[in-house]
Homo-oligomer: A and B are copies of this chain.
Amino acid sequence: MSGNFFEDFKLGQLFEHRPKRRLTEGDAAVYKAVYGSLFDNGALDELLVFHTVFGMSVRDISLNAVANLGYAQCVFGRLVQPGAELSARSTVIGLKENSDRKTGIVTVRTQGFDGAQEVLSFARWVMVRKRDAASPAPEAALPELASVAAFPPAPGEAPGFSIGRRIDHIDGTTIEEAEHAMATRLYNNVARVHFNQFAERSGRFGRRLVYGGHVISIARALSFNGLEGTRIVAINGGRHVAPVFAGDTIFAWSQVLDIQGAALRLRTVAAKDLPCDSFPEKDGVVLDLDYWAILSP
């Protein structure tokens, strides 16, 4: 009931996450209301699927997390239609205690399924508290994670895009506490730092922390203005560079890193309280996301 602590994890351990989660047109509408994304191909938004599979894993993996550190090798499979019942499981693929002995890094491979069909797979690593600093640490094991995710070729072209091009998405969205909390609960995410102001008042930041995925979805919605017609098929990596709180206004810019057929490798950077017409790289940056999107007809 208190969740797993670092010393509870074992290399190769498999978690079948409970409960399952059926995503409906109702969930899609709440997602739409929170982010306003204009991307729409009739299926569920790929990030709604990502956040839900991620959220389903929180009770087992990251209830006692200090910070979610990164993602890699995230690949989206078949589009998920409203009404699908998602299941999710995670396998521990890396463990390493930190030198302070109070925390350790847990790396998992998490998979999401629509029935028997895998619709999503990603690796993530997260810093998890130990129950007891004196507990013995497992032998350190660090997985090899390719820096670029593999995904099926996308024949075609990407007219209007060129490698190196930078795009300011112009608009900004201010985060409201209620929107953030509603979205994060929609994903079955029960991480404590997001919902309990009483506890967070005396915590690290004095306030509730916004779920990093919320910022990804806001940045993605903003990027419609410049990236219309794209669909995310893989995430190479993502870093939450700085914490985000209700009241922050998120802006975003993107750069084309590579083009392969109709697939664009994009880097989308989000900043808070900082318009992105100067393409910020450091100060104010909160998210740095490297992903593949295909131009869908």
Q: Which A residues have a C-beta under 8 Å from some C-beta of B?
A: 1-2, 18-22, 24-30, 32-36, 38, 40, 42, 167, 170-174, 176-179, 181-186, 188, 190, 192, 195-199, 208, 225-226, 228, 247, 249, 251, 273, 275
Chain B residues positioned under 8 Å from A24 (CB to CB): 25-26, 28-29
Selected A-B contacts with CB under 8 Å, 21 pairs: A2-B170, A19-B40, A24-B26, A26-B26, A26-B27, A26-B30, A27-B32, A29-B29, A30-B30, A32-B185, A32-B186, A33-B182, A33-B185, A34-B185, A36-B190, A171-B195, A172-B196, A173-B195, A173-B196, A179-B181, A199-B249
CA distance A276 to B212 in the complex (A): 29
Chain B residues positioned under 8 Å from A273 (CB to CB): 198
Top 6 nearest A-B pairs by Cβ distance?
A26-B29, A36-B185, A198-B249, A178-B178, A174-B197, A26-B26
Minimum CB–CB distance from A131 to chain B (whole Å) comes to 14
Minimum CB–CB distance from A188 to chain B (whole Å) comes to 6
Minimum CB–CB distance from A214 to chain B (whole Å) comes to 13
- How many copies, total? 3
If the complex has contacts A172-B198, A188-B38, are A226 and B1 also in contact, measured as CB distance less than 8 A?
yes
Minimum CB–CB distance from A28 to chain B (whole Å) comes to 6
B186 touches A33 (CB 8 A): yes
Q: Which B residue's beta carbon lies closest to that of A185?
A: B36
CA distance A47 to B184 in the complex (A): 21
A19 touches B38 (CB 8 A): yes
Chain B residues positioned under 8 Å from A196 (CB to CB): 171-174, 249
Minimum CB–CB distance from A86 to chain B (whole Å) comes to 12
Minimum CB–CB distance from A249 to chain B (whole Å) comes to 4
Interface centre among A19, A178, A249 (most CB of B within 10 A): A178
Q: Which B residue's beta carbon lies closest to that of A42?
A: B22
B33 touches A183 (CB 8 A): yes
B178 touches A190 (CB 8 A): no
B30 touches A170 (CB 8 A): no
Q: Which B residue's beta carbon lies closest to that of A32?
A: B186
Minimum CB–CB distance from A216 to chain B (whole Å) comes to 17
Given contacts A33-B186, A177-B178, 9 further A-B contacts (CB under 8 A): A24-B26, A24-B29, A33-B182, A33-B185, A176-B177, A178-B178, A198-B251, A198-B273, A199-B249
CA distance A172 to B19 in the complex (A): 20
Chain B residues positioned under 8 Å from A172 (CB to CB): 195-196, 198-199
A36 touches B188 (CB 8 A): yes
Minimum CB–CB distance from A165 to chain B (whole Å) comes to 13
A208 touches B178 (CB 8 A): no
Minimum CB–CB distance from A273 to chain B (whole Å) comes to 5
Interface centre among A1, A21, A170 (most CB of B within 10 A): A1
Q: Which B residue's beta carbon lies closest to that of A248?
A: B198
